[in-house]
Chains A and B, each alone.
Chain A
Amino acid sequence: MSISMIGLFQEATPAADAMDGLKNAGFELGSFDVLTGTPYPEGAFGEHVPQHRLFRFPAFGAIIGFTLSLFLTAATQLAYPLVTGGKPILSIFAMLIIMYELTMLSGVIATVIGIIFESRLPNLKMGAYDRRITEGWIGVVINLEDESRADDAEKVLNYAGAVEIKKA
């Protein structure tokens, strides 16, 4: 049976020690994580810096938006090809304005989807968690496939100085 365990710390240094301890004890990277109520400088807990592909999302969004808006602005003019003042049917500068807006809109929507996706949200299975994390406490959470190594994890957390350990 899988188990989720959280050790609560009041200071950053013991939480970082717990993260190092878990790494040294042979727990897999990705099976433990640190939870905080505010962003800390990257690497403050010696945590594994996650790789992300967020920058691809706005680019894909913009390409989709540009293509759709080109089709929309061109097709609507070509669908009723009324020549006015001897000018071309496709009014490029007017098209560019609408294409610009729709490209940006699509880029923004894709970025928001990217932020949510790369944050691994929505995640309604919270696992081990404590509301004091949003009051400044720091949680070191370990997710184990089975209970066989739960005692080892608890020992590491206690050794690092966890104020409290909770299981879920």
Chain B
Amino acid sequence: MQQKRDLSQEYTNRVLLNGTLETPKWWAPTVAGLGFVVLIGLIIIATMINRGLGLTGLSRPVYWGLFITTFVFWVGISHAGIMISAILRLTQAEWRRPVTRAAELLTVCSLFTALVFPLIHAGRPWRIAYWILPYDISRGIYPNIRSPLIMDPVAISTYLTGSTLFLYIALLPDLGVLRDRTTGWKNAFYTLLALGWKGNPRQWQMQTIGGILLSALMLPIFVSVHSIVSWDFAVASAVEGWHSTIFAPYFVIGAVHSGVSAVVTMMALMRWLWKWDDFIRPEHFDALARLLIVVATGWLACTFLELIFALYGQDAPEIALREMQIFQWPWNLLFIIFMVTGYIIPVPVWCVKKYRNNIAIMFWTSILVNVGMWLERFLIIVPGLARRTPFVFTWEAYRPSPVEWAIMIWSFAWVSLLMLLFSRFFPLVPLFEQKESQVFTDDIQIGRAKVPAIVREVE
């Protein structure tokens, strides 16, 4: 249970808007550095589009490599937002308050970035329009809705639109706060976005009910998105290692594992960079770590089930693939790193309360998880294609080229840049949620003990 802290609304505004109404010293150099990396990345992407996919290491039979791995990785990270925001909102978990906005923002930025990868992976991005737009263009035929490659953009676009609207609706009260504290063009900007928010009971009622309603609507979308991403692979019956019925839940739980870990990383950075120690506290990391233990263990179970399903079928090519993934160089090294970073180190660490409350340890273990989860996607996608099979008429081992690595690095810089730019204009911690916790919580005396209590509903 969250302890009540007496933080005035004026103090909450001043501290949580310190990155929005003022420019922190580190902000401009960091944005400049990230902007430089992003610019270089964009030049490399443009060059690749101009010169063709020959600049990558992709070649038959490995035609899905680093780009698709990174695409799945970012879609996975995007699952943090709704997992944290919607589930915790619906269950009225008190510790959600400082976490929700950052999680929703992470969803929007990472989805936006994820969408780039299938586009550039196609080599000629403008031709994607032929696949996905429900218009017969010049070929006289419509997109094939039976293909997961059509379902995928539909699902991701739904999730991106829904998440962006969810983020905006929850921002309305804070836009009112910003409108009241700015002048000039900034005031005009926030006035326009706040839509005349005043904070009357009707508006607050709509925030509360609307938040719950949107959470309930977004949750099924959240589950469907990564399920559909998994079907990009699972319906490919010719590729061993992809054609598995467990892929949908496996991808969803893996996405939650990496997404919630990314939220931990982000919260630690927010606490350190903006000095929000009063709002993002060790108890929040403790709660997230407990959640992660459950999620990670569920994910581990799915990992083993995937292997067991493969072995139980006694299908020789499938067993040969698993042998290659786990025992053959260099896949075995990647597999060991994946298991050690994805589960073996972080989960036992999170089982110790002292470490759950240590923000530096939480930060580094959450980074480890995402190293492992990126490798997991790589190990799902590439070995299945790379295994030598009968009747393959051309053969090359896959080595990602510097262009692919550079574009992957670009994606991390791009997400960070988007989030830093957002932080300069909008608060990363929802102000009204923090203030609400002050109104709705109190300490009650039971015997000689003082116990924190929360008001949830009034008769």
Contacts and interface: CB of A to CB of B under 8 A. Distances in A.
Interface stretch (A20-28, A97-105, A146-154, A157-165): A97-105
Contacts of A107: 217
Contact of B162 (A44, A97, A105): A105
A120 to B, nearest CB: 6
A80 B142 contact: yes
Interface string A105-118: 10111011011101
A51 to B, nearest CB: 10
A86 interface: no
Given A80-B140, A95-B145, A101-B224, A37 B435 contact: yes
Contact of B9 (A38, A52, A94, A104): A38
B217 A34 contact: no
Contact of B210 (A49, A101, A114): A114
B432 interface: yes
**Chain A, interface size: which category?**
35 or more
Given A101-B224, A124-B191, A37 B201 contact: no
A121 interface: yes
B224 A112 contact: no
Given A109-B165, A112-B169, A119-B206, A98 B151 contact: yes
Nearest to A125: B196
Given A41-B455, A124-B191, A126-B196, A79 B142 contact: yes
The residue in B8, B181, B439 that gathers the most chain A C-beta atoms within 10 A of its C-beta is B439
A46 to B, nearest CB: 11
B93 to A, nearest CB: 17
B297 to A, nearest CB: 30
Nearest to B213: A111
Interface string A123-155: 111100101011110000000000000000000
Q: Is the interface of B mostly helix, strand, loop or mixed?
A: helix
B356 to A, nearest CB: 30
B134 A42 contact: no
Interface in A60-80: 72-73, 76-77, 79-80
Given A54-B210, A105-B162, A115 B8 contact: no
Given A102-B158, A121-B197, A112 B181 contact: no
A42 B214 contact: no
Nearest to B221: A104
Contact of B161 (A36, A43, A100, A108): A108
B435 A50 contact: no
A72 B168 CA distance: 29
B181 A131 contact: yes
A33 B169 contact: no
B47 interface: no
B245 interface: no
A123 B158 CA distance: 29
A42 B455 CA distance: 11
Contacts of B10: 135-136
A79 to B, nearest CB: 6
Interface string B184-206: 00000001000111111111111
Q: Which 3 A-B pairs have the closest CB atoms?
A: A136-B9, A123-B196, A76-B142
29 contacts: A33-B200, A37-B173, A37-B177, A37-B199, A37-B432, A37-B435, A38-B432, A40-B439, A50-B205, A77-B142, A94-B146, A98-B151, A104-B220, A104-B221, A105-B158, A105-B162, A108-B162, A108-B165, A108-B166, A111-B213, A115-B206, A115-B207, A119-B197, A121-B172, A133-B198, A134-B180, A134-B181, A136-B8, A136-B435
Interface of A: 33-45, 47, 49-50, 52, 54-55, 58, 72-73, 76-77, 79-80, 91, 94-95, 97-98, 100-102, 104-105, 107-109, 111-112, 114-116, 118-126, 129, 131, 133-136
Given A34-B200, A136-B10, 19 more contacts: A35-B199, A37-B199, A37-B435, A38-B9, A39-B432, A39-B436, A50-B205, A54-B210, A54-B213, A76-B145, A94-B145, A97-B155, A98-B151, A102-B158, A109-B165, A119-B172, A122-B196, A126-B196, A134-B181
Interface of B: 8-10, 13, 134, 136, 140-143, 145-146, 150-151, 154-155, 157-158, 161-162, 165-166, 168-169, 172-173, 176-177, 180-181, 191, 195-210, 213-214, 217-218, 220-221, 224, 228, 432, 435-436, 438-440, 455, 458
